[in-house]
Amino acid sequence: MDPQSRNAILESVERLSGEGMAVLYTTHYMEEAERLCDRIAIIDEGRIQAEGTRPCSTSTTTGPG
């Protein structure tokens, strides 16, 4: 998507979150996740591989099992 559309979407998500709405946001960019999210989960092959809260980043979970 173009930069202006991306910024508009990010601003909308920040506004909704700031109003107390829960938002599920998926991205491949960690800087976006860190900017927008209170909690972050890394998912690979349908399983949570790591999760955590900002600013602590993520802690690894146990491997597949």
pLDDT digits (tens, 9 = 90+) for 5-46: 999 999 999 999 899 999 888 999 888 888 888 899 999 999
Token digits for 10? 């990010």
Instruction: Supply φ then ψ for residue 28, to 5 degrees.
Output: -100, 0
> What pLDDT score does 46 carry?
93
**Phi and psi, residue 36, nearest 5°:** -100, -25
pTM for this prediction? 0.63
Tokens in use for 7? 């910024």
Query: Residue 62 pLDDT more than 60?
Result: no
| Phi-psi domain of 44 (left: phi exceeds 0; alpha: psi -120 through 50; beta: other) | beta
Q: What is the pLDDT of residue 55?
A: 61
